[in-house]
């Protein structure tokens, strides 16, 4: 050998080397495949976010938004469910009750959009740490917390959720294609912005 | 894997038969032996964003956190056009491709690969002379963030899993202490047979396939460069709190969005992969200096 062989040589390289040394002797294995036809690149699917179609159904942005907002909304609903029993501040509890109604309505519509598009019910983000999304561990901690400590964590978690929900909904409004999905995103932007303002009002920030 | 082992065994057996060959001939032939067919892209980290322009196009913040290499503008709304107008952290200024993978954390501290990382462009097929450049705009996801440990270990792209120091073939992060100063490395190979038609597909994978017995299958007849990301994460010692933004080590995956200047990519493929060299990012094989380099001293294609 003229030089050290790479320690992590793959089979292809090993085989090619052997082929070079023993081209005639080695009758099996390293046969030369027929040349492949030349590539004929054809962008069959243009970048979905760039499409401008109006009534052509959901694009990749619509699908991504629906598939992300379902687990995000499910997780925040679990938080809002805890608030009446765990929270201390009456006004925060009232905010949570109203937000719960909004989020449940949003979740119902998201699931309808998902089913209409024939998307699986699988959570494609399971086990990932996602911006603004409460994890099962976060919820387990909140489950063990009450009073002012709960309120503090509740405000931080709801604020992170709402901020992320607004960012995502605006992305869907900008880059989505399906009108029903974009309409729901507009509703989410509006409701989340209202809830965010109320939260700031209550916490004096 | 067993196929490769068989070939090796056959080769060794044949080698015994061939042993009467005069030793001098073997030495004389050594310099022309083809042992590699590759070049490297050397690109450093640009940024970290919860974005994925392939899987979640147009939706900022819709992904787990990714660490990006290459194009300096990559975000959720990136298209081929926006990438071509962007800069790059790769040594080759005409490689504006976007490369990204899940961000690694130790506890809540981000682990950022330091300096240029290695993305190999290799031959995934036996006949490396047939490998062709892939077209601009081709994009795909390699591996799966939802893989189980078993799926990760037995995936066709698996090389040796995670390694640090002398510990290899870990299909999750090493559980033994990584010696001080070592890094956690991962190598993983991409499919390298293209269907010749689609730049993307609904699952962002099925327009490409892995070779079968080192040959591209009829469904995906075009051999293209086989990417192999080799990423080094500067973390050592106790890795019990190390995780990826996508979960455990076996959720490792990566994305590629091709925005090479076509003549530059074509020159590197021809010189290094088709030409059977072990090239650096400039398309130069230090063991075969007489073969020259594909690019000039500025890592650019010499143009008339």
Taking an 8 Å cut-off on Cβ atoms, the answer to whether B276 and A130 are in contact is no
CATH class of A57-203: mainly alpha
Q: What is the pLDDT of residue A173?
A: 96
Boundaries of every domain in chain B: 38-291
CA dist list (Å): A110 to A120, A188, B62: 13, 11, 16
pLDDT at A4 over 70: no
Of residues B96 and A16, more confidence is placed in B96
A8 and B38 Cβ atoms separated by less than 8 Å: no
Q: What is the pLDDT of residue B220?
A: 98
Q: What is the pLDDT of residue B13?
A: 41
Mean per-residue pLDDT of chain A: 80
Q: What is the pLDDT of residue A8?
A: 41
Taking an 8 Å cut-off on Cβ atoms, the answer to whether B34 and A20 are in contact is yes
What is the rounded CA–CA span in Å between residue B153 and residue A82?
41
Q: What is the pLDDT of residue B202?
A: 87
Q: Give residue B295's pLDDT band: very low, low, confident or very high (50, 70, 90).
A: very high
Q: Give residue B303's pLDDT band: very low, low, confident or very high (50, 70, 90).
A: confident
- Nearest by CB to residue A28, choosing from B10, B60, B248, is B10
The model's pLDDT over B197-251, given as tens digits with 9 standing for 90+, comes to 999 998 899 999 999 999 999 999 999 999 999 999 999 999 999 999 999 999 9
Of residues B35 and A8, more confidence is placed in B35
The torsion of the CA quartet A61, A67, A68, A72, rounded to 10 degrees, works out to 150
Within 8 A of A18 by CB-CB distance, chain B residues are: 7-8, 11, 14-15
Q: Give residue A56's pLDDT band: very low, low, confident or very high (50, 70, 90).
A: low
The model's pLDDT over A154-198, given as tens digits with 9 standing for 90+, comes to 999 999 999 999 999 999 999 999 999 999 999 999 999 999 999
Taking an 8 Å cut-off on Cβ atoms, the answer to whether B132 and A175 are in contact is no
Within 8 A of B58 by CB-CB distance, chain A residues are: 48-49, 60-61, 64, 171-172, 174-176
- Nearest by CB to residue A36, choosing from B146, B222, B248, is B222
Please state the φ and ψ torsions of residue B245, each to the nearest 5 degrees. -60, -20
Mean predicted confidence (pLDDT) in B109-137: 97
Of residues A22 and A151, more confidence is placed in A151
Mean predicted confidence (pLDDT) in B51-63: 93
């Amino acid at each position: 050998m003229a030089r050290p062989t790479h320690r992590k040589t793959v089979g292809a390289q090993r085989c090619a080397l052997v082929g070079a040394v023993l081209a005639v002797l080695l009758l099996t294995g390293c046969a030369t495949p027929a040349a492949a036809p030349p590539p004929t690149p054809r962008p069959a699917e243009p970048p979905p976010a760039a499409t401008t179609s109006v009534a052509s159904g959901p694009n990749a942005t619509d699908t991504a938004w629906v598939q992300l907002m379902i687990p995000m909304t499910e997780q925040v609903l679990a938080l809002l469910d805890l608030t009446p029993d765990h929270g201390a501040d009456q006004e925060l509890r009232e905010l949570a009750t109203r937000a719960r109604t909004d989020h449940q309505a949003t979740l119902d519509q998201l699931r309808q959009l998902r089913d209409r598009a024939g998307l699986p019910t699988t959570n494609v983000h399971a086990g990932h740490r996602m911006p603004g999304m409460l994890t099962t561990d976060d919820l387990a901690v909140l489950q063990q917390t009450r009073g002012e400590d709960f309120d503090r964590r509740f405000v931080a978690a709801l604020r992170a959720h709402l901020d992320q929900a607004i960012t995502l909904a605006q992305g869907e409004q900008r880059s989505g294609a399906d009108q029903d999905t974009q309409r729901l995103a507009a509703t989410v932007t509006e409701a989340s912005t209202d809830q965010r303002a109320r939260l700031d009002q209550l916490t004096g920030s | 894997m067993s196929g490769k082992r068989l070939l090796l065994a056959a080769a060794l057996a044949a080698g015994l038969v061939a042993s009467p060959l005069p030793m001098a001939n073997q030495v004389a032939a050594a310099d022309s032996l083809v042992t590699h067919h590759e070049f490297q892209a050397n690109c450093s980290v640009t940024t970290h964003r919860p974005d994925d322009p392939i899987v979640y196009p147009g939706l900022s913040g819709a992904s787990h956190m990714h660490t990006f290499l290459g194009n300096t503008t990559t975000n959720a709304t990136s298209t081929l056009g926006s990438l071509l107008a962007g800069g790059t952290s790769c040594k080759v200024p005409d490689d504006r491709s976007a490369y990204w993978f899940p961000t690694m954390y130790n506890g809540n501290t981000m682990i950022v690969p330091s300096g240029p990382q290695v993305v190999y462009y290799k031959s995934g097929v036996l006949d490396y002379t047939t490998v062709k450049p892939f077209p601009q705009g081709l994009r795909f996801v390699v591996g799966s963030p939802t893989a189980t440990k078993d799926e990760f270990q037995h995936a066709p792209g698996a090389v040796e899993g995670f390694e640090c120091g002398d510990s290899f073939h870990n299909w999750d992060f090493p559980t033994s202490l990584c010696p001080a100063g070592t890094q956690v490395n991962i190598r993983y190979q991409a499919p390298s047979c293209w269907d010749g038609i689609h730049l993307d597909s609904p699952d962002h994978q099925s327009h490409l396939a892995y070779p079968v017995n080192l040959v591209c299958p009829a469904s995906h007849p075009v051999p293209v460069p086989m990417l192999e990301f080799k990423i080094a994460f500067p973390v050592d010692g106790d890795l019990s709190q190390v995780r990826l933004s996508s979960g455990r080590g076996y959720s490792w995956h990566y994305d590629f969005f091709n925005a090479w200047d076509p003549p530059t990519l074509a020159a590197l493929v021809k010189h290094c992969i088709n030409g059977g060299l072990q090239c650096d990012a400039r398309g130069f094989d230090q063991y075969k200096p007489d073969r020259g380099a594909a690019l000039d001293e500025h890592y650019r294609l010499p143009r008339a």
